[in-house]
């Protein structure tokens, strides 16, 4: 039985690997991405250029090739993904030890990030929420509190745009693309900010909990003007340390900072590096970018939320369109 088409990154994913953490697409909706699983050996890519490589987790490597046919993303555990036709067609050749739950994480992360890049968008390592008139994103490496901050704001009335991977269009007014509406959290964060009626799955890789099936009124399913980006910079909590402070970055500094936090920047070297730099610079020129110093103290999370809502009162006060 063919799995249902799913909604992700503002479009429809038709895949023979199911993604139960994603909401189903409307019946008859045309797919933006088609993912097919093959059991044969990946065809040789003669003349393909190595663009970059990265370590995903300890002992797990990924590399990216590019040629006139598109891109090839190869993981040392889950296998090879060929991404063609401006990102719309994805072919997966599973590795011998590939696990479906790990493959789903890879696909919703770097694989679709490459597909969005091929389409002309920028992807950032960020979670994001939307208020009535726009979205704000939280950018950081792992373990810096992106997901916790986003869900704390959702608990206060914002809507979740995406977790961990934020796609941004290159429009004159850049738009935040609704992405993955399932959130990965450590147990302590999940207990603090997780919606009580969310589905919880602890079987995935890395030891985190996966929270899915969030209430529909907590989710943003349309593209939304991107109004601010915050680079999270946690600081040690203590006497006299404010719960949160922000420092505005000028365009040049913002460009350099964002370059280090693109979702697949380490992979997009070579001929693609200039494209990434151009897209990052355009976003840094159009969207305010701040460094956000946040005290590492769950007890002060409400102060963080209240301050962010006050800074963006113009967005909070406006009804959703």
Per-residue pLDDT, 202: 64
Strands (E), the chain: 6-8, 11-15, 33-37, 49-57, 60-67, 70-75, 79-84, 89-94, 122-124, 126-130, 135-139, 159-162, 166-168, 175-177, 183-185, 199-201, 209-212, 224-235, 244-248, 289-295
Per-residue pLDDT, 16: 96
Per-residue pLDDT, 203: 58
Per-residue pLDDT, 143: 74
Query: Phi/psi at 148 (nearest 5 deg)?
Result: -65, -45
How far, in Å, CA of 49 to CA of 35, rounded?
A: 23
- 167 with 33: CB under 8 angstroms? no
How far, in Å, CA of 290 to CA of 260, rounded?
A: 14
Q: Which CATH number fits domain 124-316: 1.10.150, 3.40.50, 2.60.40, 3.30.70?
A: 3.40.50
Per-residue pLDDT, 208: 74
Per-residue pLDDT, 318: 61
- 290 with 228: CB under 8 angstroms? yes
Residue 253: left if φ>0, alpha if ψ -120 to 50, beta else—which one?
A: alpha
Structure tokens at 164: 């961990």
The alpha carbons of the chain give a radius of gyration, in whole angstroms, of 19
Per-residue pLDDT, 57: 81
How far, in Å, CA of 151 to CA of 138, rounded?
A: 11
Structure tokens at 308: 């962010």
Q: Which residues of 97-128 are buried (b: 16+ CB within 10 A; e: fewer)?
A: ebeeebbbbbbbbbbbbbbbbbbebbbbbbbb
Tally Cβ neighbours within 10 Å of residue 16.
Answer: 12
Low-confidence ranges of the chain (pLDDT < 50): none
Query: Phi/psi at 102 (nearest 5 deg)?
Result: -75, -40
Give residue-wise pLDDT tens across range 144-169.
Answer: 889 999 999 999 999 999 999 999 99
Per-residue pLDDT, 198: 76
Per-residue pLDDT, 194: 72
In the chain, which residues fall in CATH 3.40.50?
A: 124-316
What is the DSSP track for 252-321?
HHHHHHHHTTBTTTTT--GGGHHHHHHHHHHHHHHS-EEEEEEES-GGGHHHHHHHHHHHTHHHHTSPP-
Per-residue pLDDT, 320: 54
Measured CA to CA in angstroms, residue 206 lies from 71, 74, 202 at distances of 27, 20, 10
Which residues, 6 or more positions from 27, have their beta carbon under 8 angstroms from its beta carbon? Answer: none
Per-residue pLDDT, 111: 98
Q: Residue 57 pairs with which residues in a beta bridge? A: 60
């Amino acid at each position: 039985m063919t799995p249902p088409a799913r909604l992700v990154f503002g479009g429809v994913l038709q895949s023979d690997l199911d993604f139960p953490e994603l909401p189903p697409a409307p019946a008859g909706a045309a797919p933006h991405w088609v993912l097919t699983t093959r059991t044969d050996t990946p065809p040789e890519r003669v003349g393909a250029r190595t663009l970059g490589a990265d370590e995903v987790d300890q002992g797990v490597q990924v590399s990216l090739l590019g040629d006139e046919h598109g891109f090839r993303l190869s993981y040392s555990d889950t296998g090879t993904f060929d991404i063609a036709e401006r990102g719309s067609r994805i072919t997966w050749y599973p590795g011998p030890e590939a696990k479906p739950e790990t493959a789903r994480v890879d696909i919703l992360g770097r694989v679709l990030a490459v597909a969005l890049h091929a389409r002309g968008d920028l992807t950032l390592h960020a979670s994001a929420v939307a208020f009535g008139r726009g979205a704000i994103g939280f950018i950081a490496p792992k373990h810096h509190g992106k997901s916790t901050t986003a869900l704390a704001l959702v608990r206060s009335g914002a809507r979740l745009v995406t977790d961990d991977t934020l796609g941004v269009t290159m429009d004159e007014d850049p738009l935040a693309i609704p992405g993955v509406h399932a959130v990965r959290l450590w147990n302590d964060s999940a207990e603090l900010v997780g919606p009580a009626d969310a589905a919880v799955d602890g079987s995935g890789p890395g030891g985190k909990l996966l929270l899915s099936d969030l209430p529909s009124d907590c989710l943003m399913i349309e593209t939304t003007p991107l109004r601010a980006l915050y680079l999270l910079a946690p600081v040690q909590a203590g006497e006299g340390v404010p719960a949160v402070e922000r420092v505005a970055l000028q365009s040049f500094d913002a460009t350099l900072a964002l370059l280090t936090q693109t979702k697949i920047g380490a992979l997009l070297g070579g001929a693609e590096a200039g494209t990434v730099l151009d897209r990052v610079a355009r976003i840094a020129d159009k969207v305010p970018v701040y460094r956000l110093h946040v005290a590492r103290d769950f007890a002060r999370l409400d102060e963080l939320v209240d301050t962010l809502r006050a800074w963006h009162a113009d967005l909070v006060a406006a009804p959703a369109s």
